């Protein structure tokens, strides 16, 4: 233990208390407003649906609290509790190569942590989601998904970690620059690869077939000057009743994906409005701007790691008995989320700003009233709360609260 240990514990305690306090505020706020549908939504959302959303959100917030506490306990056991040291000496007795020992150590830490947290995921899927009528995953499907995730982690994770550890050891003083550029390129490659190779391992994607909807969308593309034939419907209903739409991929692999559950619940005008919103993110360059920012942050993170790797107090302070590249990378990855908690509100702020811009774009390409109708339906069907705690929402949510967003859309309707 040294001063850095106390600093680490202090930030961990601050980050955990902040999250728990916000969760508590969120729960209290929702329960206080459980008795009445907000006036903006009267007649559109029934009291029973509003109360279901309240109970569902409270249950999910409770799970989030459990998960925060458990992952903090795991973090302390791994670092100051000596968990990483025990694993490393175990790995070193079986794996002679230093590089492969590093890869094995890192993968075992990720896999063990995942298994410790698995009961929470099981509870969330088979208790909470089940209780509120969203779960459609069977035990067989759940196990299959877990094995597939594990296989992907080994297939993609091993060479990636191996390459990073190699760069750290072999590329001299500026290794962090090479490692940063490599990681950014790898991320771009994965973003390109995911829609066509990885995502289809989990779900079935079929090109949109509905002719009426398709021609509507084709016209929308022409109005927006957007070039893509990649509109797909995903069988989201295989696992869950939640509906959504998203934009994915880069370059010639970009796609717009609708969950089948969304297509079922919205009419053609509403789907068009949702799509116009998604295109807004593309047209306003939100996607590319987010990629630039995250690339820069990756480079900064590696520069910090480059400096920390040379500081003995960093290893001592986090309880590491051996100073090596794998420990440095692992410790850095484990503790970064604590410190990034405090910049989370900044990214939420920008994401909400982007949502307003995409809504404004959608209003010029479709009609605000259609987007409002779609949002109300999506809020009702996903049992999303209409009354989040304002502070909790501004900290965590990438989307503005329903009421705020709809008021903004109504303002656009007038002009
Ligand atoms: Zn959006």
| Ligand 1 centroid distance, CA of 229 (Å) | 20
DSSP 322: S
The alpha carbons of the chain give a radius of gyration, in whole angstroms, of 23
Of 99-103, 189-193, 242-246, 358-362, the poorest mean pLDDT is in 242-246
| Ligand 1 centroid distance, CA of 350 (Å) | 12
Q: Which residues are catalytic?
A: 278, 359
| 281, 358 contact by CB (below 8 A) | yes
The model's pTM is 0.90
Percent of the chain scored above 90 by pLDDT?
Answer: 77
| 37, 47 contact by CB (below 8 A) | yes
CA distance 154 to 165: 16
pLDDT score at 229: 64
Give the contacts of 222 (CB within 8 A, at least 6 positions apart): none
| Ligand 1 centroid distance, CA of 102 (Å) | 39
pLDDT tens digits, residue range 344-365? 999 999 999 999 999 999 999 9
CA distance 367 to 113: 47
Neighbours of ion ligand 1 (CB under 5 A): 355, 358
Q: Within 10 Å of residue 219's Cβ, how many Cβ atoms?
A: 11
| 158, 107 contact by CB (below 8 A) | yes
Give just the sign of the alpha carbon dihedral 242, 133, 396, 37.
positive
Of 102-116, 227-241, 318-332, the poorest mean pLDDT is in 227-241
pLDDT score at 136: 92
| Ligand 1 centroid distance, CA of 20 (Å) | 27
pLDDT tier, 266 (very low <50, low <70, confident <90, very high otherwise): very high
| Ligand 1 centroid distance, CA of 286 (Å) | 10
Q: Residue 32 pLDDT more than 70?
A: yes
| Ligand 1 centroid distance, CA of 218 (Å) | 20
Average pLDDT in the chain: 93
| Ligand 1 centroid distance, CA of 264 (Å) | 20
Q: Residue 46 pLDDT more than 90?
A: yes
Question: What is the mean pLDDT of the segment spanning 79-100?
Answer: 96
pLDDT tens digits, residue range 165-194? 999 999 999 999 999 999 999 999 998 888
pLDDT tier, 196 (very low <50, low <70, confident <90, very high otherwise): confident
| Ligand 1 centroid distance, CA of 235 (Å) | 21
Name the 3-class secondary structure at 297: helix
pLDDT score at 126: 95
pLDDT score at 71: 96
CA proximity to 352, closest of 384, 396, 400? 400
């Amino acid at each position: 233990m040294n001063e850095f240990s106390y600093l680490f514990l202090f930030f961990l305690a601050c980050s955990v208390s902040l999250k728990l306090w916000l969760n508590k505020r969120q729960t209290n706020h929702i329960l206080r407003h459980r008795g009445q549908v907000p006036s903006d939504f009267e007649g559109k959302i029934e009291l029973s649906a509003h109360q279901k959303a309240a109970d569902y959100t409270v249950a999910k917030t409770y799970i989030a609290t459990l998960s925060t506490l458990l992952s903090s306990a795991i973090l302390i056991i791994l670092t100051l509790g000596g968990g990483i040291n025990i694993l490393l000496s175990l790995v070193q007795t079986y794996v002679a190569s230093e590089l492969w020992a590093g890869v094995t150590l890192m993968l075992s830490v990720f896999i063990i942590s995942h298994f410790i947290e698995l009961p929470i995921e099981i509870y969330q899927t088979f208790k909470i989601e089940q209780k509120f009528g969203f779960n459609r995953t069977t035990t067989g499907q759940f196990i299959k998904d877990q094995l597939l995730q594990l296989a992907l982690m080994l297939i993609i994770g091993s060479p990636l970690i191996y390459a990073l550890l190699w760069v750290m050891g072999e590329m001299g003083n500026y290794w962090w620059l090479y490692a940063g550029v490599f990681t950014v390129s790898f991320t771009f490659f994965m973003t390109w690869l995911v829609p066509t190779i990885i995502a289809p391992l989990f779900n079935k994607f079929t090109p949109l077939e509905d002719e009426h909807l398709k021609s509507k969308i084709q016209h929308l593309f022409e109005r927006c000057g957007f070039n893509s034939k990649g509109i797909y419907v995903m069988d989201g209903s295989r696992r869950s009743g939640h509906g959504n739409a998203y934009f994915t991929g880069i370059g010639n692999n970009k796609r717009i994906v609708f969950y089948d559950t969304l297509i079922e619940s919205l009419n053609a005008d509403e789907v068009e409005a949702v799509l116009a919103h998604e295109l807004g993110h593309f047209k306003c360059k939100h996607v590319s701007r987010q990629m630039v920012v995250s690339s820069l942050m990756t480079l900064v993170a590696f520069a910090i790691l480059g400096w920390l790797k040379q500081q003995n107090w960093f290893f001592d302070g986090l309880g590491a008995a051996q100073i090596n590249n794998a420990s440095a990378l692992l410790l850095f990855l484990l503790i970064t989320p604590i410190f990034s908690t405090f910049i989370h509100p900044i990214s939420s702020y920008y994401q909400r700003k982007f949502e307003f811009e995409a809504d404004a774009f959608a209003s010029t390409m479709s009609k605000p009233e259609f987007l409002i109708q779609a949002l109300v339906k999506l809020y009702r069907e996903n049992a999303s709360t209409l009354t989040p705690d304002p502070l909790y929402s501004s900290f965590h949510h990438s989307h503005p609260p329903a009421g705020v967003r709809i008021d903004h859309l109504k303002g656009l309707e007038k002009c």
